Amino acid sequence: MSDEKFTDLETISPLDGRYRGRVEELLPYFSQKALDGERVRVEIEYLVKLGSLEEIPIDPPEKSLREIHEEFDLDDARTIARIETEGYRDIPPTNHDVKAVEYYVREELKDRNLAELIPFVHFGLTSEDVNNLAYASLIKGATGQLIDRLVEVSESLITLAENNANMPMLARTHGQPATPTTMGKEFAVFLSRLVERLENLEEAREKLTGKLSGATGNLNAHSDSYSNTDWLDFAREFVREYGLKPNQTVTQIEPRDNMANLFQAISRINNVLVDLSRDCWTYISQSYFSQKQKDSEVGSSTMPQKVNPIDFENGEGNLSKANSDLEFLADYLTTSRTQRDLSDSTVRRNVGVAFAHALIGYKSVQKGLGKVEPNREALRNDLADHPEVLAEAWQTSLRKYGHSDAYEVVKELTRGEKLDAEMVGEVIDELPLPTNERARLKNLTPETYLGKAKEITLSTVEQAKETLSSFRP
């Protein structure tokens, strides 16, 4: 195994190169060192738990054992890699990663004068007993990192929704001018969606399952060796104490349906933020938003005037890449031939890739939200240019006064027409309405025809704040 160093300019994946600084908080969960360290933890905690059984003739010193995991560092991870690929001391190369972890623990016990415990290291276990608990625990922790970042995105949306709750904005449906809304209300829509999905993600995180059940899911070796022990209860307790929900109806593998549910929950969140990114991109292109500029940044290699919406574009790209990976993981990891095949092993190592792209996406969206501010002049001008969007109010007024052909009357007067203020007055004068109602409609403007947008926005913000308080200490 080569110890040769490489730089971030020599990596194959941009996650370990260009983007490494943006995903460092995931390293404790998805590096090889992190995985091996968590496997060691499973082996140690299992050994400690065995010591609590009356039938098992060992009395493991918990503090000394747990130090093996607590002191686990990069050199220890390298030792495990050597055991797997080259051999170590008198151990030949295993070509098996979990067996290498087991031998590492055995060597640590020898070095700590605890050799009497060696026969019970990995006792009755299959590799997947160790792996499923290690992966699920790491994924649970990494999901917490994603949630923390998503809470920050939600808080940015709260600020934008509150500050712009009463900021009139022309809406568009099918790309065409439509009934006015407010900028704050449009942010509130994404806030509401995101916070609800966040709750779903936290629920999925708490439902992650684990198993401890031996080679084919029946605890055969355990039951045969120590028949007086309630191994089902032991396994349930161990998995629960490890922070996961026990699943005892399994093959060699835990089916990972709940893990797939978590991946899909993240994917749904990503879809919300892709939608947000695309809308923000569109509003920037319409000049509804201006972006705070940084003097040193370059928008184009040839057009020096440009300030591009790069954060929303980067967010959209990374979130879409994450979703592609998450969909594959959710589909693939929930299938396995008969009681087990190994095709999932290489796939499962790529969970961190999906999480990393999602994290980059969240950070990019957050950065983009921090740059945008409303262009009040552009918003006002666009509203003023499209008084025809008040046609909804005109036909509704006709209905109010009993005209069954209200829609058709207004359609005949307005469809396909580009109206100005003078023409609006002329259209209203032709409506078969009382004089005072026509006067009211003439005073109505796109900037004031906002319905309950402000109230909806502020109510959504308050609900979001209440929900998010459960995610903050």
Residue ranges covered by each domain of the chain: 20-120, 128-153+186-375, 387-443
Distance CA 274, CA 277 (A): 5
What is the distance between the alpha carbons of residues 16 and 282, in angstroms, rounded to a whole number? 32
Please report the pLDDT score of residue 280 as a whole number: 97
Catalytic residue, from 64, 285, 287, 300: name it.
300
Q: Is 294 helix (H, G, I), strand (E, B) or coil?
A: coil
Phi and psi (nearest 5°) for 210?
-145, 165
Residue 73: Cβ-neighbour burial (10 angstroms; 0-12, 13-18, 19+): exposed
Cβ distance 133 to 101 under 8 Å?
no
**Residue that has been written with the tokens 């006709």 in this structure:** 398
Closest CA to 417 of 430, 433, 400: 430
- CATH architecture entry for 128-153+186-375: Up-down Bundle (1.20)
Rounded to two decimals, the pTM is 0.92
**Angstrom distance (rounded) from CA 184 to CA 133:** 44
**pLDDT tens across the length of the chain (473 residues):** 455 566 778 888 999 889 999 999 999 999 999 999 999 999 999 999 999 999 999 999 999 999 999 999 999 999 999 999 999 999 999 999 999 999 999 999 999 999 999 999 999 999 999 999 999 999 999 999 999 999 999 999 999 999 999 999 999 999 999 999 999 999 999 999 999 999 999 999 999 999 999 999 999 999 999 999 999 999 999 999 999 999 999 999 999 999 999 999 999 999 999 999 999 999 999 999 998 766 555 554 444 444 578 999 999 999 999 999 999 999 999 999 999 898 989 999 999 999 999 999 999 999 999 999 999 999 999 999 999 999 999 999 999 999 999 989 988 888 877 788 888 999 999 999 999 999 999 999 999 999 999 999 999 999 999 999 998 76
CA pair distance 312, 362, nearest whole angstrom: 10
- What is the DSSP track for 188-231? HHHHHHHHHHHHHHHHHHHT-EE----SSSS-HHHHHH-TTS-H
How high is the pLDDT of residue 306? 44
Find out whether 407 and 400 touch, Cβ atoms under 8 Å. Answer: no
Specify the pLDDT at position 295.
Answer: 55
What's the CA gap between 267 and 473, in Å, rounded?
26
Task: Tokens for 147, please give them.
Answer: 């949630």
Q: Would you call 52 a catalytic residue per the annotation? A: no
For residue 208, the tally of other CB atoms under 10 A from its CB is: 22
Under CATH, what is the fold of the domain 20-120? Answer: Fumarase C; Chain B, domain 1 (1.10.275)
> For the domain bounded by 387-443, which CATH number is listed?
1.10.40.30
- H helices of 242-350, in order, are 257-285, 310-332, 343-348
Q: What pLDDT score was predicted for residue 3? A: 53
Please give the span between the terminal C-alpha atoms of the chain, in angstroms, as a whole number: 44
Q: Is 122 a residue of the active site?
A: no
Residue 154 has a pLDDT of 98
Report the helix count and the strand count for the chain, using DSSP H and E. 19, 6
